[in-house]
C-alpha cells in the first residue's frame, strides 16, 4: 500500500504469531500493515507448505521409489522456503515501518528536508527489495510445485495444483508491491533493474504455473 | 487431497485459531488436513480481507465521496465474506473427516459393505459441496475486489490487485478440490451439475480477475 492512505502499522512479531482468523481480521483493518505485501508472503508460504505435504506423502511409497531422492531434496528446499516466507511477512512489515518513519521525519529546515528526502528514498528501496526478495522465493516455490505436481503421489495432485496457484498468486502480488514502491523511487537505474528482474520472474513464473495447473486439471477432469 | 494418501486429520477448531506460522507448518505436515481445500479458503479470506481494507481507506475521504455509498456496501459484504471463508476452512476439514470416517467403516458382511459404500458416497458429496460452496464465495470475492480496484482509493490499488489475485487463486484451488472428489462419485447427475457450475464459476472468475489484474498493473507501471 502507498503511504498517503496509511493508518497505523501492526507490530511485525504479532503477525506470524496471530491466529489465522485474527490475522485475516488484521488484514481487513484500516491499519497500514499487514497489507498486500504480507498477504503475498503468506500465499507463498501456503505454496511451499503444500509442496512439502505432497513430498511427505510421496517419500517412502514403493510406487514412487524412482523419485524418492529428488522429492527428498524438494522437501528440504520447501521447508526452508516456508520459513523464509514467514520471515518475508515480517520483512514486509518492517520495511513499511521504515518508510513510515522516514516520512515522519521533521522538515522545517533545508537540511532536514534534504535528510528526510534521502531517508525516504533509502526506505523506499528497502520497501522495494522486500517484495522483490519475496518474488524470488515465489519463483522457487513455483518450480518446486511444478516438480511435485509432475512427479509426486498422484492421489494428492490437487494439492500440488493448489501449491502452484498459491505461489503464482504470491509472485504476482509481490510484483504489484514492487511496482507501487518503484513509483516514488528517484534512482532510475535501481528502478529499471528492479522492474526488469520482476518482469523476468513474472514471465517465467506465469508459463511454468499455467503449464502445471493445466497438467493437474487435466489429470483430475 | 485424496483418501489413499491421507495421514491423520487435524481438529477443525485448531486451524483458524492456530498462529499463521504454526498453520503453515500444519499445512506442510503429512496430515490429511489441513490441505488444499483449507488453503483455498484461507486465500479467499485474504482476498475478502484486503477488499475490506481498501474500503476502510476509501470511505470518509472527500475525493471518493461519489463512491462512498457503494464501497460501504462492499465493506459489509467483504466482512461477511471473510467470516464465511473462515467457516469454510472448518467445513473443508469436517467434510474430509466425514469421508475418512466412512472409509473406516467395517466391511465384513455384505450389509456392511453396502452401508459403507453408501456412507462413502454421501461423504464424498459433502466433500464436493464444501469446496463448491467455497468457490461460490471466491467468485463473490473476485467481484468485490474488481469493484474496489476500479473505484477505491488509488493509493491502495495494489492491495485491490492482491485481493483479486488471492480470490482467483482460491477459486481455482477450490475447483481442483471439487474435481478430485467428483472422480469417485457415482451419482452422475450430481457430478455433472457440480462440474457445470464449477466451469461457469471458473470462466467468469478468470475473465473478471485477469481484467482487474491488468487494470491494476497498468496503473502501477
Helices (H), chain A: 12-17, 20-28, 36-56, 68-103, 110-151, 157-182, 188-220
Residue B33: predicted pLDDT: 80
Question: With contacts defined as CB-CB under 8 Å, which chain B residues touch A96?
Answer: none
Could B27 and A53 be called an inter-chain contact, meaning their C-beta atoms sit closer than 8 Å? yes
A8 exposed, middle or buried (CB, 10 Å; 0-12, 13-18, 19+)? exposed
pTM over 0.90: yes
- From B5, B20, B173, residue closest to A165, measured CB to CB: B173
Inter-chain Cβ pairs, chain A and chain B, closer than 8 A: 225
Percentage of chain B exceeding pLDDT 70? 93
User: Hey, what's the cell of B218?
Assistant: 497498468
For the cut 70, the answer to whether the pLDDT of residue B9 exceeds it is: no
User: For A71-107, how does the pLDDT look when each residue is reduced to its tens digit (9 = 90+)?
Assistant: 999 999 999 999 999 999 999 999 999 999 999 999 9
For the cut 60, the answer to whether the pLDDT of residue B50 exceeds it is: yes
Q: Which phi and psi angles does B33 have, rounded to 5°?
A: -135, 150
Rounded to an integer, what is the distance from CA A93 to the centroid of its chain? Answer: 12
- From B45, B82, B162, residue closest to A36, measured CB to CB: B162
Residue B15: predicted pLDDT: 62
Question: With contacts defined as CB-CB under 8 Å, which chain B residues touch A159?
Answer: 1, 35-36
Which one of A51, A152, A176 would you mutate to disrupt binding with B, by most B Cβ within 10 Å of its Cβ? Answer: A176
Could A53 and B40 be called an inter-chain contact, meaning their C-beta atoms sit closer than 8 Å? no
Question: B161 with B217: CB under 8 angstroms?
Answer: yes
User: Across residues A145-160, what is the average pLDDT?
Assistant: 96
User: Across residues B44-61, what is the average pLDDT?
Assistant: 97
User: For A159-174, how does the pLDDT look when each residue is reduced to its tens digit (9 = 90+)?
Assistant: 999 999 999 999 999 9
Contacts of A168 (CB under 8 A, 6+ apart): A138, A142, A205, A206, A209, B169
Rounded to an integer, what is the distance from CA B187 to the centroid of its chain? Answer: 24
User: For B14-33, how does the pLDDT look when each residue is reduced to its tens digit (9 = 90+)?
Assistant: 567 778 888 889 899 988 78
Does the bond joining B122 to the residue before it have cis omega, within 30 degrees of 0?
no
CATH architecture of A35-220: Up-down Bundle (1.20)
Residue of chain B minimizing CA distance to A165: B169
Distance CA A171, CA A188 (A): 23
Question: B4 pLDDT band (50/70/90 cuts)?
Answer: very low
- From B19, B56, B166, residue closest to A39, measured CB to CB: B166
Could A53 and B29 be called an inter-chain contact, meaning their C-beta atoms sit closer than 8 Å? yes
For the cut 50, the answer to whether the pLDDT of residue A8 exceeds it is: no
Residue A32: predicted pLDDT: 77
User: For A167-220, how does the pLDDT look when each residue is reduced to its tens digit (9 = 90+)?
Assistant: 999 999 999 999 999 999 999 999 999 999 999 999 999 999 999 999 999 999
Residue A15: predicted pLDDT: 62
CA angle, B140 as apex, B136 and B143 as ends, to 5°? 140
For the cut 50, the answer to whether the pLDDT of residue B12 exceeds it is: no
User: Hey, what's the cell of B7?
Assistant: 495421514
What secondary structure does DSSP assign to A136-179, as a single string? Answer: HHHHHHHHHHHHHHHHS-GGGHHHHHHHHHHHHHHHHHHHHHHH
Question: A146 pLDDT band (50/70/90 cuts)?
Answer: very high
Residue of chain A minimizing CA distance to B153: A5
> A9: number of CA atoms within 13 Å, CB side?
22
Residue of chain A minimizing CA distance to B165: A169
- Look at residues B164, B170, B165 and name the one whose alpha carbon lies nearest to residue B135: B170
Could B52 and A20 be called an inter-chain contact, meaning their C-beta atoms sit closer than 8 Å? no
Q: Rg of chain A over CA atoms, in angstroms? A: 19
For the cut 70, the answer to whether the pLDDT of residue A14 exceeds it is: no
Distance CA B188, CA B147 (A): 37
Amino acid at each position: 500500500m502507498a503511504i498517503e492512505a496509511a493508518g497505523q502499522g501492526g507490530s511485525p512479531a504479532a503477525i506470524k504469531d496471530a491466529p489465522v482468523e485474527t490475522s485475516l481480521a488484521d488484514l481487513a483493518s484500516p491499519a497500514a500493515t499487514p497489507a498486500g505485501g504480507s498477504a503475498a508472503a503468506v500465499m507463498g508460504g501456503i505454496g511451499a507448505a503444500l509442496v512439502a505435504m505432497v513430498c511427505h506423502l510421496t517419500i517412502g511409497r514403493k510406487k514412487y521409489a524412482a523419485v524418492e531422492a529428488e522429492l527428498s531434496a524438494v522437501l528440504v528446499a520447501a521447508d526452508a522456503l516456508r520459513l523464509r516466507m514467514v520471515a518475508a511477512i515480517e520483512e514486509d512489515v518492517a520495511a513499511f515501518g521504515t518508510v513510515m518513519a522516514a516520512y515522519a521525519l521533521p522538515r522545517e529546515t533545508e537540511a532536514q528536508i534534504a535528510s528526510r528526502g534521502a531517508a525516504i528514498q533509502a526506505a523506499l528501496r528497502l520497501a522495494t527489495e522486500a517484495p522483490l526478495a519475496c518474488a524470488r522465493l515465489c519463483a522457487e516455490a513455483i518450480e518446486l510445485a511444478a516438480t511435485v505436481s509432475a512427479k509426486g503421489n498422484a492421489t494428492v495432485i490437487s494439492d500440488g495444483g493448489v501449491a502452484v496457484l498459491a505461489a503464482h498468486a504470491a509472485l504476482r502480488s509481490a510484483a504489484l508491491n514492487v511496482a507501487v514502491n518503484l513509483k516514488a523511487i528517484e534512482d532510475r537505474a535501481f528502478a529499471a533493474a528492479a522492474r526488469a528482474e520482476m518482469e523476468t520472474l513474472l514471465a517465467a513464473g506465469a508459463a511454468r504455473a499455467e503449464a502445471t495447473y493445466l497438467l493437474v486439471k487435466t489429470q483430475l477432469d
